[in-house]
Structure 1
């Protein structure tokens, strides 16, 4: 038996290019978008000042950090998060499994308030950390929670790699020094059908070691994080190898590691994504990440307008995680933001207005995610 409803919206951002359609009705049956029509339907639920956009994707976060916000703000990046001898690891070691799960759920709940339905979590603490993440995953509904685990130095083996691959959606490598070339090749093989991710060129020191080329040769990643110091040629290398790049501009600015070359990446045709990175120092408010990225791109390419590209980075660009667009035949996991009080409906450029003002009004989920525990 079909369970159908129709939603009337003032604007909707459609398909891969987020094309704007005015005054539309969206029919949803059993969680699928079955029809997108012109005008308002008489039997529809009215969001006449609402703007339907794909739900948001946070493509990189370290959720466990959420247990100790703003710790060590006077410390260098390596001292704070370096594996395994860092302040972060010291504090994680003091928490039990229940506490780590509860802090993870708190972060996810906070993310829901910002319209985020997909979260890609770089997990610390080896197999145990991934098992805790899996326990967290079982306590939520309607959230696409992606776990990228890792093995600690003292537990690396082919047997443990196999165990990790059974738990996780992918493998997240911290830096060049985390594993040997032989170990990276084993990771690449064990996760050949999953996400293979690595932090790349977050600092100038890492870039000078040619870490991108190193990872491409031995890990064969399909996702890299930061890329703050990548050159234009290295950006083209990402494009040619079909590797997506996750920018975390607020994190880069906070840790004084550099300004990501967002305009260069867009002009180079790299598939870009956005993430909020370490939850101890950067809030899950992905709207702030969008605006920061837009402002940086304007600084790098004066009077440019990459608003649509940046909106794509937090909505439809993470195709390897599944379709996240508003289109007939696609799952109805979009959100509706308020357009009148926020001023978006009066804006001369809808895309930039959504980025700057979208979080100022109400955010309505079509399929509301839930914390079960």
Structure 2
């Protein structure tokens, strides 16, 4: 069955070019064409006069499973709330019943859909079981989820050892079910471990948190002599890095040169007191930037609020106005490209 939306104003293509009075043709639930002017073919027609149609929003970074812990430890800092080894989040997820986790995950995803989000990329802890739980929780919902799983394995970054056999098996099991790997960070892994994650993932996606806070940046330099960003770019070679809130200009330049995507999470950074990502600088340096809402326990999964926040915060902190078109690209076409 075909449907044609006519007489609509569109933001079209990778540059979100404005098209007045265009059409969108849909065949079997998929968009077959979109352009200016009138559609010549047949099909049921829907007049969209007065409407502006844009691509659906993509939430490029979430931790959806901690929906069950909204505002828990609200006065604490980054590590106390979400550290993968000893944070409050870890304890809550371990003690929660799977069915309760699924219910909260599903409710959060429905909330995202109501806010125009059609896809999201989730860092899913707890190995293969965590990936399966997420997929079961959102079964039947008309939303795309890019699941980036993780083994329950962390190590001292000063060590030289790589993944133990049991951890390698965990990673392989995760990759059988997931779209790739979502690594906590360089500070919880050795150089060899980071390299092994890349090798095991092969052509699947690999992403990692980096330069989220001043504390994590300092920890890396004290314990390894190098920055988080330097280490993940050299050893992990991720498809994208999350945060870059406290990255230096040299680190931003390195990420841009390697054509590694960047996903910023401005409001979550604000909640944790981690700072404000320098989005205007990231864009000026040539980074491909998308936007995410991060942990639901910290922050509501609302992309429009993220865009509003970073637009104002960037003007205040960088004295530079980000073009609205660039903001919309972060929430749509940039995220899709990453």
Q: TM-score when scaled to structure 1?
A: 0.81
Question: Which sections of structure 1, spanning at least 5 residues, go unmatched?
Answer: 322-373
The Cα of 1:12 is off from its aligned counterpart by 0.2
Query: Aligned residue for 2:157?
Result: none
Q: Whole-Å Cα distance in 2 between the matches of residues 21 and 58 of structure 1?
A: 25
Task: Between 112-121 and 231-240, report the one with greater CA deviation.
Answer: 231-240
CA displacement, residues 138-181 of structure 1 (integer Å, 9 cap, x when unaligned): x1343110111111128852222211111111111112232222
Query: Aligned residue for 2:273?
Result: 256
Query: Aligned residue for 2:148?
Result: 148
Higher relative contact order structure (alpha carbons within 8 Å, sequence separation ≥ 6): 1
Q: Against the structure 1 CA distance between its residues 160 and 40, is the aligned structure 2 distance closer, same or farther, given a 3 Å change threshold?
A: closer
CA displacement, residues 229-272 of structure 1 (integer Å, 9 cap, x when unaligned): 11222112111111100110001111001111111001111000
The Cα of 1:40 is off from its aligned counterpart by 8.7
SS of alignment partner, residue 79 of structure 1 = helix
Task: Between 154-163 and 238-247, report the one with greater CA deviation.
Answer: 154-163
Structure 2 counterparts to residues 102-117 of structure 1, below 5 A: 102-117=103-118
Query: Aligned residue for 2:213?
Result: 203
RMSD after superposition: 2.0
| Segments ≥4 residues shifted beyond 4 Å | 39-43
Query: Aligned residue for 2:72?
Result: 71
The Cα of 1:286 is off from its aligned counterpart by 0.7
Structure 2 counterparts to residues 25-174 of structure 1, below 5 A: 25-30=23-28, 31-38=30-37, 44-137=45-138, 139-153=139-153, 156-174=166-184
CA displacement, residues 289-347 of structure 1 (integer Å, 9 cap, x when unaligned): 011121122224536342111110110012446xxxxxxxxxxxxxxxxxxxxxxxxxx
Q: Which has the higher helix share?
A: 2
Q: TM-score when scaled to structure 2?
A: 0.89
Task: Between 125-134 and 191-200, report the one with greater CA deviation.
Answer: 125-134
Question: Which sections of structure 2, spanning at least 5 residues, go unmatched?
Answer: 155-163, 222-226
The Cα of 1:72 is off from its aligned counterpart by 1.0
Judge conservation of contact 2:187–2:216 (CA < 8 Å) in 1.
no
Q: Whole-Å Cα distance in 2 between the matches of residues 66 and 279 of structure 1?
A: 5
Structure 2 counterparts to residues 236-247 of structure 1, below 5 A: 236-247=253-264
